[in-house]
Structures are given as C-alpha cells and as structure tokens.
Chain A
Amino acid sequence: MLEHLPALQVVLPLVAAPLIVLARSTRFAWLATTAVSYACLVIAALLASRVASGGAFSYALGSWEPPWGIEYRVDALSAFVLVAVSLTASFVAPYARRSIAAELEPDRQYLMYAMYCLCLAGLLGITITGDAFNLFVFLEISSLASYVLIALGRRRQALFAAYQYMLMGTVGATFYVIGVGLLYLVTGTLNLADLADRLRGVEDLRPVLTALAFITVGIGLKLALFPLHQWLPNAYAYAPSMATAFLAATATKVSVYVLLRFYFTVFDPAALFERLPTRETFLALSVAAMIVASLVAVFEEDVKRLFAWSSVGQIGYITLGIGLENQPALTGSIAHLLNHGVTKGAIFLLLGGVALRSGAVSMTVGSLAGLGRRMPLTAFGLVIAGLSLVGVPGTAGFVTKWYLIVGAIERGAWWVVVAILLSSLIAVAYVWRIVEVAYLRAGQGARLEAPVGMLAAGLAMAGLCVYFGFFTSINVAGASDAASFLLRGPQ
C-alpha cells in the first residue's frame, strides 16, 4: 500500500466530500473531515521522508507511463508544500466544529465541510501533479470550493467578495490554460518534466515567452501578486473564520508553488532571467507589495482586513526569492510558505474565537479593547503570532527574513535589504496597534475564553511559530533542499 501514497494523498479528501454529501450529517462530516486531514498529514510526512532518503519519485495514474498518462511527481519542493498544506489542515479541521456551528445554519454545515475537503483535495492535487493540464483541473476544484467557502460568510459583502474573486480567479485560470496551450502547441506534451525537456529544443522563443507571460499573470492573479491582489482583502475579510484561516494559510502559497515550479523546473531559468527583466520585475513588485500593502494595513479599521492586507505584503517576501534567485533567498522564500502559513493561520484562528465570543459580524480594531483581560490566552497567542509577523528573533518570521537578507546581500541588492527592514518596521506599527488596543485600552465584557477546541488549535499554531523559530529542522532544512532542487534547473 505504501507505494500508492501519492494517489491516496489526494483521493482521500476527494472521496470524503461525496461521502459527506451522501450522509448529510454534520457530525459525520466533522469526523470525516478531521480524520482525512490527519491522514493527509501522515501521508505527506511519509512522502517527505521518502523523498529525503531516496530522492524524487513518480507515480503513474492508471499505470499509463508519462507522458501518455498523468503522472504524480513527489520531489523536495512538492513534498515540502504538501506538508505545509496538510499541517494547516490538521489544525483547521478540529477547530472547524465550533466555528462552523456558530456561523452557519445547521442544514448548510455539512456542505461547508464538503467544500473544505474539496478545497484541500484541490490544493494537494495541484501540488503533487506532474501534468500541466491536470494542474488546471485541480486548480479549478480548489477555486470553485473556495468561492463557495467565501460566499458562505455571514455578511452580504461576502457574496460580492466571492463574486469578484470568482471573476478574477477564472480569468487567471483561463490565462493559465492559454499559457499551457501555447506550450503544448510548440512541444506536443503536457507533462511538466517532458515539457522542460522538449522546450530546450524549441527554436522560436516567441510562443514560449508569451506562455510565460500568460502563466505568470494567470497564477499571479491567484496568488495575489501585487498589483493583482484586489480580490484578496475583501475575500479574507468576509469569509467565515475557518475558511479565512485555511485559505490564508494555504491557497496563495500553493499558487506561489506553481509559479516556482514553472519558473525553475519547466522554463530554463538561465534563458529566462537573461532574456526578460524577470528578476527586476519580481524584485520591484515584491518590494512594492511589502511596503504599500503593509502601509495600507496600518490604516485599516477592520481587523480581518488589516491582516489580509498584511498577507498581501507577506506574499511579497515569498516572491522576493524568485527575483533574488539564489540559494539563501529561495530557502527563505520557500520556508516562508510554511512560516507565514503557520503565522497567519494562528492569527485568523484566534480571531475566529474572538468573533465567536463577541457575536458581532464585523470586528473593528476598537472592538478588541480589553482583549488582554477578557481573553488572556487568545490575546497572548495573537501577540506571539504578531511577533512572528514582524520577524522578531526566536519566531518563524525571523528565520525567513534572515535568509532573505543573506540572499539579498549575496546578490548585492542593498536596497532590498533596506526594504525588508522598512517593511518590518511597518509591520511593527500595525501589530502594535492591535497590542495597544488589546492590553492598554479598557474594554467591557466578562472574562470568557474561546471554546477549548478552537483556542487549542489557535494556540498550537502560535506555538508552532515559536517552534519553527528555534528548531529549524523541518522548515529550513526542507526549504533548503527544495531550493537547491530548484536551482539545479530542469533536469
């Protein structure tokens, strides 16, 4: 059975969804979701350990050898992202029970779980597949599921946010299909490894460069690459708490992964980075995201939207690695996929608890007044995760920034170093706003923590922020393997 783990990784959550719809029971839905999430984490860990010991391997679906059939390919990078996604899922699933019960009508709850399973399956499917078109199909599964997850938010703004996300997401996915189509027309194959192989023989580069542009913009829309991020703040702000936490921690990260995969393992980076101003473009956009989006966050009143803007900025850190294109910077970027996932996951999970107890549909910064007294543990967790967002030593966020700065220095890009420090200062400003209100301003209300299951999940994720700050054997070691894998270029 062990050799079939790549298929099971995706098929388990995929099968859970129709079972949930068939059973129509909220209790079963929650049990199935939790079981599947944990199973996915175990499978991802097993796959990662197999890659670490034996190198990359592939799995032929339907026993048709690639490129005729569809191939699943597990390598250092995809194994790392699989672990990151399913790790988040394993925290969100137990949390979901109380959160969903509080935010949705009873006869919709089981569907919410089904959507969550589908979204998870889609994201894992994108990560593990070695086929460009299969990637599109799973991209659509996860996207459609996430549109519904967002639209199920309690305020009517959620509907419009979901609509806008759907419009931009679909345009993005279609752009991606156009890009893949062009690549297919010049190579005749859809398998990623085969594509890389055959692209080297292509003489007329015009279609290839166009494909690159379309894929970049298409996936850029999905990952909220500055300035294609307009859908993100509202989508995160109005989605149900559990959906925000899950999507913020995983969806954009998986899209970044797709970009990394195409840039470094399909296209020839040497030709790419010299022929087009890719490096400069990515550096400029990333720095712009880091500074502009963070500044917007400082002046944002809605707490969830504040952290959503911060996400746009943090995505800038991740794409920075593509621009710097060296071992330490890419290590930082890839590690940030996990580090930021854990950090933002913790923040949105804890905020979900606050929202549950306050009962209000929207949460302004002012409404957090006295949180340190009302919900001391929650507030403490928020502070920890906030510190990680800033990048204080001893937290996961610091590890990322350290590697990014080393990478920038190696590249001689001092202005990027300055930008990273500046952006961190801005992060201090918006995190301090929350801390100040929570601890220094008096608020009303009795002392009442979030339900145990929700609080535990949130605090555990906040704990991971610290854990990954001190013990870097999982995040940095995995990311560094992935980075050297990427820098080896198309094999």
Chain B
Amino acid sequence: MSAIAAHFSYWVTLFLMIAGLYIIIARGNLMKKLIGLAVFQTSVYLLYIAPGKLVGGTAPIVAEGFATYSNPLPHVLILTAIVVGVATLALGLAITVRIREAYGSIEEDEILERDRADER
C-alpha cells in the first residue's frame, strides 16, 4: 500500500497521459485532437515536477530561515516544455484554421474523403 501511495504522483501522470493519448487517437475532430495533445503534454509536467518536491521544503528562492528547497532544475525544464507546448498549439491551430478554409471541415474522415475525391 505504501508503495502505491509513494507513487501517487506517477499514477496521476499516467491517467492524464492515457486520457490525452486517447483523445488524440480516437477523436476525428482536429480541434479536439489538439486539445488532447495539450493534455498529453501537461501530463509530463507532473512527471518532472512532483519528484522534485521535498516535504518541508519551500520554493527554490533562497532566503534567510529556510534550509530545504525543492529541486529547481525540473521547474526550469518544465517552463521550457510549457512554452514549447503553447508554441506547438498555436501552430497547430493556425494549420487547422487553414484546413477549415481549404476543406470547409475539420473532421478527419470528411477531409480524407475529399482528398480521395481529388485523386479521382
């Protein structure tokens, strides 16, 4: 039981990851897929940050009166990851908007159908 409790943060990560991945694969709507992608990316945040926490520690801003700090390195990495995530999202949305203008739809199967019609 204690092993499960000690790994609780990993289970949360796991759940978010599965949900995000599921949306990406199962859903046909391009916007929804992008949101799934964003959830999938956020799952990684916890994977990095949670183990950096030390109970009794404080945020890694050095000040008088504190001796234990949580690990700053994961924070830095995840800051970068968040920024990369939003950059990807912006680009993905731009492409989606263009797809909508070009095809008149953002449903995967309808787009594929129109592509097939083009080929003929």
Contacts and interface: CB of A to CB of B under 8 A. Distances in A.
A207 B24 CA distance: 25
B95 A171 contact: no
Interface in A303-329: none
Nearest to B112: A160
A151 B37 contact: no
Nearest to B52: A185
B120 to A, nearest CB: 12
Interface in B51-98: 51, 73-74, 77, 80-81, 84, 87-88, 91-92, 95-96, 98
Contact of A140 (B73, B84, B92): B84
Contact of B44 (A144, A148, A174): A174
Interface residues of B, number: 31
A144 B87 contact: yes
Interface residues of A, number: 25
A162 B99 CA distance: 10
B37 A167 contact: yes
Contacts of A236: none
A148 B17 CA distance: 27
Contacts of A170: 37, 41, 88, 92
Contact of B40 (A174, A181, A184): A174
Q: Do most interface residues of chain B lie in helix, strand or loop, or is the interface mixed?
A: helix
A185 B44 CA distance: 13
Contacts of B37: 167, 170-171
A133 B84 CA distance: 12
Contacts of A162: 95
Contacts of B111: 160
A290 to B, nearest CB: 27
B84 A166 contact: no
B41 A166 contact: no
A151 B98 contact: yes
Contact of A156 (B24, B47, B103): B103
Interface string A379-413: 00000000000000000000000000000000000
A76 to B, nearest CB: 29
Interface of A: 133, 136-137, 140, 144, 147-148, 151, 156-157, 159-160, 162-163, 166-167, 170-171, 174, 177-178, 181, 184-185, 190
15 contacts: A133-B77, A137-B80, A140-B84, A144-B87, A144-B91, A147-B91, A148-B91, A156-B102, A156-B103, A166-B91, A171-B21, A177-B81, A178-B44, A185-B51, A190-B73
